[in-house]
Amino acid sequence: MLKGYNMLIYFAGSMIMHEPSEECIADFWERGILKNLPVSSSNPNFVKAASQLRESFADKAIFGKMLHEDFLRLFTRPLPALAPAYESKFNKNISDDSGYHSSSVTEFYNSYGWESKFKGKFDDDHLGIELLFLTLLIDKYLSLDDEACRGEMRKEIRRFINQHILSWVPQWNNKIQVHANTLSFKGIGNLILACSEDIFIFFAQEATTSVSTDFLKN
């Protein structure tokens, strides 16, 4: 199940980082990959995302163009982007008991000896970079055999999601839902939020407790 979530997170992160190729994206949607997601969930945001992504494919002749134009409007337009994918745009001047400040996501990366391969192209607080780091943490968790180490990694994953994703992605997703012209990007916004919420809840479970099928299902 976690591998399935990692696939979705990696896909969604890539979609908000890289200007889409009209032909490649249209082919990806046309093959129906997004109609059969690798995990399912009763999380309302996940259900909405799945519906939006299933219904998002338009005429191949115009779909790629629409998606490309929406990407530019939302994330890179010369005027202020409509939904900038940077934590610092939403978590401004935050200082609380958790010690959050604008550079803390870089410090989180540094604590694991990790540096983004996109350094210089995207700031560390870009959502795509944060999601990439999250997939790496989950991969590390899956590779651990020692239960004590897995327990600590569960805490670290929840701490990262709490401080650097759920602290601002709900607001960012609201902007996506308002400003996106395509169901594709509306679905991607909801998918990122839903996967983050589901993983946060999953890692809250005790090691010996199965995840409730009322919320998460394989």
What is d(CA 116, CA 73) in angstroms, rounded to the nearest whole number? 25
Phi then psi for residue 6, to 5 deg, are: -60, -40
What is the value of pTM for the model shown?
0.87
Tokens of 138: 């989950």
Q: What is the DSSP string of 98-129?
A: T---TTHHHHHHHHTT---TTTTTS-TTBHHH
**Averaged pLDDT, groups of 10, the chain, 218 residues long:** 93 90 66 77 95 82 85 83 92 50 80 93 94 96 92 94 95 96 95 97 67 42
* CA neighbor of 134 nearest in space, from 101, 93, 97, 163: 163
Whether the Cβ atoms of residue 123 and residue 165 lie closer than 8 Å to each other = no
Q: Residue 194: in which H helix or E strand, if any?
A: helix 183-202
* CA neighbor of 51 nearest in space, from 67, 40, 60, 62: 40
118 burial type by CB count under 10 A (0-12 exposed, 13-18 middle, 19+ buried): middle
* CA neighbor of 131 nearest in space, from 19, 32, 14: 14
134-165 pLDDT, tens per residue?
Answer: 999 999 999 999 989 999 999 999 999 999 99
- Can you tell me whether residue 177 is helix, strand or coil? helix
